[in-house]
Chain A
Amino acid sequence: MSSVSDGPILEMANVSFNYPGGGPIVAGLSCSVREREIIGLLGANGSGKSTILKIAAGMLRPSQGEVILWNKALKSYRNRDRAKLLCYFPQQLDVNVPFTVREIVGMGLYPYEIPPVMTVDDAMDMVGVGDKADAFVTNLSGGERRRVFLAMTLIQGAGILLLDEPLANLDIKYQIEFLKLLRSLKEARGLSVVMALHDINLALQFEKVMLIKSGEVHGIGAPEVVLTSATIRDAFDVEVEVRKAEYGAYITHEKWF
């Protein structure tokens, strides 16, 4: 996996999805992820962000189209092999069983017979839960719990992470630290990330964003191109102004409330 590839490593080709008897949630969506790419996935509530991530993770089968992972149809992979390449992080983290932090993080090694290089302790330290190794996850705060699951995701060692709102419940410090961590893993291990998020100001700092409206790609590319006052009005039905700043840009509104 050390060789840098220029082509897409994960691709959705003309993918549509609807539940039986329901209308389309994703309609003819095509997009791709390259190695060392961190993509912010934006869209209004119900625009289909989570569904897109679940289809890309192989959790939902598209009603039309195909998901391609490393030039092979995703559905042709054995579950365990897929888990070594592709990892999904859900929005909801509800655990009502008192596992310890160490136990949860260790589950990230389940796809492997021979554990990869990173140890459970390394992974816990990376997200700052090393001092809570033997605590019960059920006794942790929402943010701490999220970091524990992030550590599990990191130790799983997949090259592509599909994260559904991983920054929810994290305070500003851990939001920034987590994004820094992803960036450093991108440099060190060639990690690719697709991350659903709601904070447009944060998204404006990404290298690449994808804006979703009604299950279709409304724009993809550099944030200053994709996220303009006009596109944000279109996708979110809200009036904001995007202003240039010393570093990147930020959105503002005459008066918020």
Chain B
Amino acid sequence: MRPVRMIIFIGVVVGIVLLALFAGPRMVNPFSLTTMDREILYSIRMPRVVVAMLMGMALGASGAILQGVLRNPLADPYILGISSGASLCAALGLLSGFYYFGSMSVPLTAFIGAALVSMLVGAFGWKRGGLWPERLLLAGIGLNFLFSAVLMLLMSVSSDEGLRRAVLWMFGDLSMADWSLIPTAAIFIVIGMGLVLSRSRALNAMILGDEFAHSLGFAVQRERLILFGAMALMTSASVSLGGTIGFIGLLMPHIVRFLLGADSRLLVPASAVAGGAFLCFADLVGRSLMPPMELPSGTVTAVFGAPYFLYLLRRKDVLSI
């Protein structure tokens, strides 16, 4: 445990959240709130911050789980095709005129797509009564290519304006965040997080390999199934909230490991919190840089995340490969 780093970590997270609430194209002074300020805070900024926190938490935790379960430092929920599957399902829904749930239609179809793809990846990864990491990873990569190709095909032949908007939204856009989406997604994310936190010892043991995990008294295949299910639940909920945001799932676990250590009992919750804060920050940058235009948060996370990731890659204590 590194107490000083822990305090700095918490301080930075709290600072970012406060900044995301009160800073932006219009600065809000928390000590003298006007009616207008209250309205902005309550209807626009707060739901956005909550959505960003929830999405980032789900993705950060999912990344930490997958890197452990698949024993691969490059794993993140999107490498398994979950994002492209969700986008494809949302696009197909729009093309077939699925508008029965109004503004909830795209999030709903995206959620269904993400959940279906997770199950499909799981089915391909299943052999001899269990899930096998290499099979999961390869199945995910294969499905990812397939769905991306079909999505591209749809985009290139379709002139549907709604479809183009939906596809843009899938690249990660929090500008549509409002309170109505939050409760359902939050429930899924809380359930997923609870499952993982109760399984973090098993996750630690599985990082050492199935044989050690078995020897330490864990039912490896059952634990892997639960962890994979929790990851799928959280990622699907996250996609339904604001589309697909890259890099958080990959990056946060590496940063947290570097700062606070690799023990999953701390790594998973800390990656979640870091993911939430990072997405708040990306959203703040996205809406403040050139108002009134908003940059999609997914691109901001990549622009900030990728260079830092490459810097970390140079350090020996982050990756040993």
The B-contacting residues of A in range 126-169, CB under 8 angstroms, are: 136, 138-139, 149, 152-153, 156
Determine if A98 and B219 form an interchain contact, defined as CB atoms under 8 angstroms apart: no
A59 within 8 A of partner (CB): yes
**Residue B73 contacts which of A20, A79, A92, A96 (CB distance < 8 angstroms)?**
A96
The B-contacting residues of A in range 76-131, CB under 8 angstroms, are: 79-84, 86-90, 92-100, 103-104, 107-108, 110-111
Determine if B215 and A139 form an interchain contact, defined as CB atoms under 8 angstroms apart: no
Given contacts A107-B204, A110-B201, A110-B205, contact A96 B320 (CB under 8 A): yes
Contact stretch, chosen from B118-126, B154-162, B206-214, B299-307: B206-214
Chain A proximity mask over B66-104: 1 for CB below 8 Å, otherwise 0 = 011001010000000000000000000000000000000
B314 within 8 A of partner (CB): no
A58 within 8 A of partner (CB): yes
Instruction: Looking at the assembled complex, report how far the CB atom of B265 sits from the nearest CB atom of chain A, in whole angstroms.
Output: 10
- Write the chain A residue with the least CB distance to B71: A96
Given contacts A95-B208, A104-B208, contact A89 B317 (CB under 8 A): no
Given contacts A96-B319, A98-B317, A138-B320, contact A88 B214 (CB under 8 A): yes
Determine if B217 and A92 form an interchain contact, defined as CB atoms under 8 angstroms apart: no
**Residue A57 contacts which of B215, B219, B262, B263 (CB distance < 8 angstroms)?**
B215
How many residues belonging to A are interface residues under a CB distance threshold of 8 Å? 38
**Residue B211 contacts which of A20, A59, A100, A108 (CB distance < 8 angstroms)?**
A59
Chain A proximity mask over B256-280: 1 for CB below 8 Å, otherwise 0 = 0100011100000000000000000
**Residue A108 contacts which of B214, B216, B219 (CB distance < 8 angstroms)?**
B216
**Residue A83 contacts which of B71, B128, B211, B216 (CB distance < 8 angstroms)?**
B216
Determine if A98 and B257 form an interchain contact, defined as CB atoms under 8 angstroms apart: yes
Determine if A139 and B217 form an interchain contact, defined as CB atoms under 8 angstroms apart: no
The A-contacting residues of B in range 121-145, CB under 8 angstroms, are: 128
CA distance A47 to B215 in the complex (A): 23
Determine if A97 and B321 form an interchain contact, defined as CB atoms under 8 angstroms apart: no
B40 within 8 A of partner (CB): no
- Measured between beta carbons, the chain B residues less than 8 angstroms from A108 are 216
Determine if B316 and A139 form an interchain contact, defined as CB atoms under 8 angstroms apart: yes
Given contacts A96-B320, A107-B205, contact A156 B216 (CB under 8 A): yes
- Measured between beta carbons, the chain A residues less than 8 angstroms from B217 are 79-84, 110-111
Given contacts A96-B73, A96-B319, A139-B316, contact A103 B261 (CB under 8 A): yes
Given contacts A110-B205, A139-B316, contact A59 B214 (CB under 8 A): yes
Determine if A88 and B215 form an interchain contact, defined as CB atoms under 8 angstroms apart: yes
CA distance A93 to B204 in the complex (A): 14
- Measured between beta carbons, the chain A residues less than 8 angstroms from B128 are 20
Q: Interface SS of chain A: helix, strand, loop or mixed?
A: mixed
Q: Choose among A81, A87, A96, A153 the residue with the greatest number of B CB atoms under 10 Å from its CB.
A: A96
- Measured between beta carbons, the chain A residues less than 8 angstroms from B261 are 99-100, 103
Instruction: Looking at the assembled complex, report how far the CB atom of B235 sits from the nearest CB atom of chain A, in whole angstroms.
Output: 21
Determine if B320 and A90 form an interchain contact, defined as CB atoms under 8 angstroms apart: no
Chain A proximity mask over B190-229: 1 for CB below 8 Å, otherwise 0 = 0000000000010011011101101111110000000000
Instruction: Looking at the assembled complex, report how far the CB atom of A190 sits from the nearest CB atom of chain B, in whole angstroms.
Output: 20
CA distance A83 to B213 in the complex (A): 10
Determine if A79 and B207 form an interchain contact, defined as CB atoms under 8 angstroms apart: no
Determine if A97 and B262 form an interchain contact, defined as CB atoms under 8 angstroms apart: yes
- Write the chain A residue with the least CB distance to B263: A103
Determine if A90 and B211 form an interchain contact, defined as CB atoms under 8 angstroms apart: yes
Instruction: Looking at the assembled complex, report how far the CB atom of B254 sits from the nearest CB atom of chain A, in whole angstroms.
Output: 10
Determine if B216 and A92 form an interchain contact, defined as CB atoms under 8 angstroms apart: no
Determine if B219 and A79 form an interchain contact, defined as CB atoms under 8 angstroms apart: yes
Instruction: Looking at the assembled complex, report how far the CB atom of B207 sits from the nearest CB atom of chain A, in whole angstroms.
Output: 5
B28 within 8 A of partner (CB): no
Residues of B within 8 A of A (CB): 67-68, 71, 73, 128, 201, 204-205, 207-209, 211-212, 214-219, 257, 261-263, 316-321
Residues of A within 8 A of B (CB): 20, 54, 57-59, 79-84, 86-90, 92-100, 103-104, 107-108, 110-111, 136, 138-139, 149, 152-153, 156
11 contacts between A and B (CB under 8 A): A81-B217, A83-B217, A90-B209, A92-B211, A97-B257, A98-B317, A100-B261, A103-B261, A107-B201, A149-B208, A153-B215
